Chains A and B, each alone.
Chain A
């Protein structure tokens, strides 16, 4: 990873590119109603506000999905190099990219049953859970690299 003129460049190896594309195409993983607006309020009282929240989440996810597709089609931001692939993102793009990657990570975790590593819950290994574990691992690496870059 390198930073030049406010643009963050991430390098991918040839074999990492298809995995990267598959990963981003998983978005969105979380449903728009995955969280309540309030834990303590009477659901009947907050029904309208809860619907507004879900609508806002739905709209945000649609916008982010569109950004993902644009990124994957944009030969300037995701371009092939002799060594592999390079992803170039500027500040605001980095922000939505982080949101997307974290959504996939949290969504995959929820699909695994929201295991708490501190409680050492065992995850049954099968094709589906392996897929979610793979997505979480990939997102973790990407997210850590982006956050490190942002920290400077």
Chain B
């Protein structure tokens, strides 16, 4: 009798192991109107108003909000878009 080999769990993470994630972050500032920030999130990410408002409130109350986690290229694209609206946005490498 041959015992069945134990199954080796396959890696299911679709992300290539060596590809780092980049976080797109919007930082609080005292100049951009809350309504404007909500609007920009809706336009740039295609979010519903409620989700955009949640992130806007996070920026306002906690000083920043991680808007999305992306590959380098996509994160750059979003930062370009957000900075094009004069929001305080950067991308940071995920630790």
Interface residues of A (CB under 8 A from B): 30, 35-41, 49, 52-53, 56-57, 60, 95, 98-99, 102-103, 105-107, 109, 114-118, 140, 143-144, 147, 150-151
Contact = CB atoms under 8 A, between A and B. Distances in A.
A99 B39 contact: no
A53 B80 contact: yes
Could you say which interface size class chain B belongs to? 20 to 34
Given A35-B90, A38-B91, A41-B92, A109 B31 contact: yes
Interface of B: 29-33, 35-36, 39, 43, 76, 79-80, 83-86, 88-93
Nearest to A53: B80
Contact of A151 (B32, B35, B80): B35
B67 to A, nearest CB: 14
17 contacts: A30-B86, A37-B79, A37-B91, A38-B92, A40-B92, A40-B93, A49-B76, A52-B76, A53-B76, A53-B79, A56-B84, A103-B86, A105-B31, A114-B29, A115-B30, A144-B33, A151-B35
Contact of A39 (B31, B32, B85, B92): B92
A56 B35 CA distance: 25
Contacts of A151: 35
Give the most central of A38, A117, A143, A144: most B CB within 10 Å: A38
B76 A37 contact: yes
B3 to A, nearest CB: 50
A41 B84 contact: no
A38 B92 CA distance: 6
A46 to B, nearest CB: 9
B85 A53 contact: no
A41 B30 contact: no
Given A30-B86, A37-B90, A38-B90, 11 more contacts: A35-B90, A98-B36, A99-B85, A105-B31, A106-B31, A114-B29, A118-B30, A143-B33, A144-B33, A144-B35, A147-B35
